[in-house]
Structure 1
């Protein structure tokens, strides 16, 4: 990679980290969408980088006092998501080159859906959903994390509709995403897919993620939640729309 490509990559990491600290979940979606739409790094490699940075970011966010969690919510989501990660990783390894075009289209659609979930106002439920709903949302989250380390939309949408406190939701998301990332990294290492290129890019990006996270916790920006959501919505929509635009011609040709 040239110096220009490294700077572009770090710029994507910066925007994704800002969004993550503002919204709580958009890191993987924005980083994967922007990097993939600009073809900076292969899709499989950037997914590994996201997993490494997610684990590091979780250690920073969950460090200190014991985080507030609800085990009745966490356990079904966590267990089902870990199963989903394994299935997603297996599916990713089984795809051939032509099917990767479909994967890019799917990723673009997931990112666009994630952007819409940020701005669609959904009234919280009066009571907790039943356990099967948590297993389903966790499983979908894990499947998407296994495919491309961006499983936020189904789980975020489900949890934010529950009558739970912000800290419980935030800590649940961070814990589940970190556990998924550790599992995914273990499978990547076992399959011999971890390369020095991926490790160096992760080491290059992590200090930026750490500094931005610490600064934003100490000096939170004076923006309304509505303004933040619309800002991130625009970034996600551009990234997801770019992926759909690039993948659609190939999908249409393959279907013809």
Structure 2
């Protein structure tokens, strides 16, 4: 039998390469692929700290673009509260049910993005109450799967933020939430045993970023996104079938 953690290393390399090309999704992609061979509760304490390193570095580099009022008044309070709720629910759920719910979330998100790319649909602004509800729900999914991105991206649809401000603000969200999750893993007792394995994957993170930077200037981003979302749709469907 091949060590499943070798597969996790491949997933990390793929995920962070994609993140460097497109600017999104490293943790969602890595977790969805890794969950095919390992339980989510076993993988999350390894992958979440890696995301802290990358999002923290990028958030610091782009700190001048962060929308602090939006971050501090709406996103972080709702996301942090939702994350605590999701984390509490997560500890009482069976791994197969977690994989099923995670797979459904991935299929919904990736399928929706494929449909938008195919139709050329432009996101419309949500009412304030809906954006707040979706942001809170994104926090819950982050606590459950460390993957609040799909719902938060949907919650921020139609926002008046330009691309640079939205990206920097979202990076700050992921840094804060994943640092908080890492603290919860520490208190739970799962972070320290996972740290040696996490540290062995740091070079793959660096290689993925460098490879992604190289690819970023050589591939068509729209076509690349189509490939990524198709991969996510298939992976989510496999998770659903595996967990059913």
Q: Scaled by the length of structure 1, what TM-score is found?
A: 0.84
Aligned-partner Cα distance in 2 for 1:92–1:135: 22
- What is the aligned partner in structure 1 of residue 107 from structure 2? 112
Give 1:214 shift: 4.1
Aligned-partner Cα distance in 1 for 2:233–2:215: 27
Give 1:140 shift: 1.5
Aligned-partner Cα distance in 1 for 2:149–2:215: 26
**Contact (CA 8 Å) 2:79, 2:139: kept in 1 or not?**
yes
1:103-252 equivalent positions in 2, closer than 5 A: 103-121=98-116, 122-125=121-124, 129-196=126-193, 198-217=194-213, 220-248=216-244
Aligned-partner Cα distance in 1 for 2:209–2:148: 21
Q: Which runs of 5+ in 2 are unaligned?
A: none
- What is the aligned partner in structure 2 of residue 53 from structure 1? 50
Q: Which runs of 5+ in 1 are unaligned?
A: 249-256
Aligned-partner Cα distance in 2 for 1:216–1:141: 27
Aligned-partner Cα distance in 2 for 1:215–1:101: 34
Aligned-partner Cα distance in 1 for 2:164–2:83: 25
> For this pair of structures, how many residues does the alignment match?
239
Aligned-partner Cα distance in 2 for 1:207–1:60: 15
**Which digits, 9 at most, give the CA deviation of each residue in 1:100-146, with x for residues without a partner?**
32221111001112212332324233xx6554334222211211111
Aligned-partner Cα distance in 1 for 2:40–2:5: 16
**Which digits, 9 at most, give the CA deviation of each residue in 1:224-251, with x for residues without a partner?**
2320111101211121111111111xxx
Q: Secondary structure at the match of 2:218?
A: coil
Matched, 1:35 2:34: yes
**Contact (CA 8 Å) 2:56, 2:171: kept in 1 or not?**
no
Moved more, 230-239 or 209-218: 209-218
Call closer, same or farther: CA 1:221–1:4 in 2, change over 3 Å. Answer: farther
Q: RMSD in angstroms over aligned alpha carbons? A: 2.1
Aligned-partner Cα distance in 2 for 1:188–1:204: 19
Give 1:3 shift: 6.8
**Contact (CA 8 Å) 1:137, 1:158: kept in 2 or not?**
yes
Aligned-partner Cα distance in 1 for 2:186–2:52: 15
Give 1:160 shift: 3.8
Q: Secondary structure at the match of 1:120?
A: helix
- What is the aligned partner in structure 2 of residue 86 from structure 1? 84
**Contact (CA 8 Å) 2:104, 2:240: kept in 1 or not?**
yes
**Contact (CA 8 Å) 1:60, 1:210: kept in 2 or not?**
no
Call closer, same or farther: CA 1:142–1:46 in 2, change over 3 Å. Answer: same
Give 1:14 shift: 1.0
